[in-house]
Copies of this chain bind each other. A is one copy, B any other.
Amino acid sequence: MTQTVVQQPTSKAALISVSLAHAENLCRANRARLTPIRRRVLETLHNSNRPLGAYDLAAALAPQGRRMAPITVYRALEFLIEQGLAHRLASLNAYVASSQANDGRGTAAFLICEACGSVSEVSSPELHDAVSNLHKSHSFSPRARLLELTGRCAHC
């Protein structure tokens, strides 16, 4: 008889490499170029527990005491956001890697903990429909959606 399998605690490193592989595939499919800089920005976002500012990234991507030109980071971020690989959190002026968990589940929202700084990307069909109905009822064609809740997470 088959045992119930307890889910293995997949390592963070493994999760990240899956995400990066996914990014590679997605870009290939879109004929978009995931250049070394863009890839390093995405990787840095994935490696971080919390959202990073553009200048944080600029510092992280250059050697000791130096920093990458901000515009370079912004250009990479613009690309990643266009591809749906990253998000900008407007309430923090900071950026996060997209969670694959919410891929194609429609409208995503972000829960931002003021205490620990963690951010989780969440969604629900109900939310998606509510937002959908709302803009339709006002004959509004949305291009971008921004849903952020700031407060305290379950732990804090």
Q: Which residues of A contact B (CB under 8 A)?
A: 90-91, 109, 111, 113-114, 120, 122-124, 126-127, 129-131, 133-135, 137-154
CB distance from A4 to the nearest CB of B (A): 25
One complex includes copies of this chain to the number of 2
A143 touching B114, Cβ below 8 Å: yes
CB distance from A146 to the nearest CB of B (A): 4
What is the chain B residue whose CB lies nearest that of A147?
Answer: B147
What is the chain B residue whose CB lies nearest that of A109?
Answer: B134
A144 touching B133, Cβ below 8 Å: no
The distance in angstroms between the C-alpha atoms of A60 and B3, with both chains bound, is 71
29 pairs across A/B with beta carbons < 8 Å? A90-B90, A109-B131, A109-B134, A111-B135, A111-B138, A111-B140, A122-B134, A123-B134, A124-B134, A126-B130, A126-B134, A127-B130, A127-B131, A130-B131, A135-B151, A138-B154, A139-B153, A140-B149, A140-B153, A141-B152, A142-B151, A143-B151, A143-B152, A144-B149, A144-B150, A145-B150, A146-B146, A146-B147, A146-B149
